[in-house]
Amino acid sequence: MSVDMAVPQWLADKCNLWIARLSMEEWTIGMVLALAPNDDVTTRALAEQYPDLNYGRITMRVDVEDDEDWESCLVHELLHIKHSRIDATVQKAILPQLQSSAADMADVVYRAAVESYIYSMAWTLIRGYRATGTEGEQ
């Protein structure tokens, strides 16, 4: 069983900052803390995406800190939410057109490519803002 906890103000502010930076104002983003997101103590954060509703929910592990590694987790999950319309199109329109084994393989390959891209993009964005001296600005 997972128990959700309130998010500290500094984390909510950081989330709002990145929502603006990523031009995600049309999304409603919920955020909670949990001892073990997805009932896995090794998971630092996860995102639930509902692109048809413009809603996403981020769960961060309760030991989240205000540092670059955790910020990358937050940005990473926001990017998953932002990208979820593309994911939904692949899931609903493309994969069903393939035979079962091909669809399974395509899904695994697609998810691996997206995960790698999002990981890289999150770090690129964080380092880019730091390099320009605009860390706290939109």
Residue among 12, 27, 17 at smallest CA distance from 125: 17
CATH number of 4-131: 3.30.2010
| Confidence class for position 1, pLDDT limits 50, 70, 90 | very low
83: tokens are 């990208």
Q: Tell me the domain boundaries of the chain.
A: 4-131
Quote the CA–CA distance of 20 and 45 in Å, as a whole number. Answer: 20
pLDDT digits (tens, 9 = 90+) for 31-52: 999 999 999 999 999 999 999 9
| Mean pLDDT of all residues in 55-59 | 97
Is the model's pLDDT at 138 over the cut of 70?
Answer: no
pLDDT digits (tens, 9 = 90+) for 77-109: 999 999 999 999 999 999 999 999 999 999 999
